[in-house]
Amino acid sequence: MRVLIVEDDFVGSRLMKKFLEAECFCHLAFDGREAIEAFETALLEEKPYDLMFLDIMMPEVNGIDVLKAVRDLEEQRGIAPDKGVKVIMTTAMNDADVIMEAFNARCDGYVVKPIRKEQIFEEIRNLGLLHPESP
Ligand SMILES: [Mg+2]
């Protein structure tokens, strides 16, 4: 499984990678612009990501705007909504309005920081992306 981890906090990013790298092939993006670029490049190379962890709070281009850009790019390329990348938002704030906005922009789930390994694997399993026996 190909995963793009989008997180502007270096320590947080390393932690996510550490949790995921045994099960997934991980790329990192450290801001919103990089994330959109990485996503688009993967599409052009026909090696799309299966899953994206997307931080909401980032300078300049925030996670919600990245999500909107990702869904636009998929639509432009004729990718059906159910065939698009699965997107799990990561957020420090348990803010109902922001989470609602993310679901309106078609995210697939969210996790509240601090990130725990069990929590992210539960989300991944909920999306049917991992064998139920995986960690
Ligand atoms: Mg952040």
pTM, two decimals, is 0.94
Query: Among 113, 73, 122, which Cα is nearest to 89's?
Result: 113
- Dist CA 6 CA 12 (whole Å): 10
- Domains within the chain, CATH numbers bracketed: 2-93+108-114 (3.40.50.2300)
Alpha carbon of 61 to ligand 1 centroid (Å):
11
DSSP assignments along 56-115, one per residue? S--SSS-HHHHHHHHHHHHHHTT--GGGS-EEEEEESS--HHHHHHHHHTT--EEEESSP
CA of 56 to the centre of ligand 1 (A): 6
Q: How many A from CA of 78 to the centre of ligand 1?
A: 31
What's the CA-to-centroid distance between 114 and ligand 1, angstroms? 12
- Contact present, 109 and 88 (Cβ < 8 Å): yes
Res 125 pLDDT > 60: yes
The pLDDT, as a whole number, for residue 135 is 52
User: Ligand 1 center to residue 39 CA distance, Å?
Assistant: 18
State in Å: Cα 37 to ligand 1 middle: 18
What pLDDT was estimated at residue 22? 92
pLDDT digits (tens, 9 = 90+) for 17-57: 999 999 999 999 999 999 999 999 999 999 999 999 999 99
115 pLDDT exceeds 90?
yes
Q: Which residues of 41-54 are buried (b: 16+ CB within 10 A; e: fewer)?
A: ebbeeeebbebbbb
For residues 88 and 123, the answer to whether their CB atoms sit within 8 Å is yes
d(CA 125, ligand 1 centre) in Å:
24
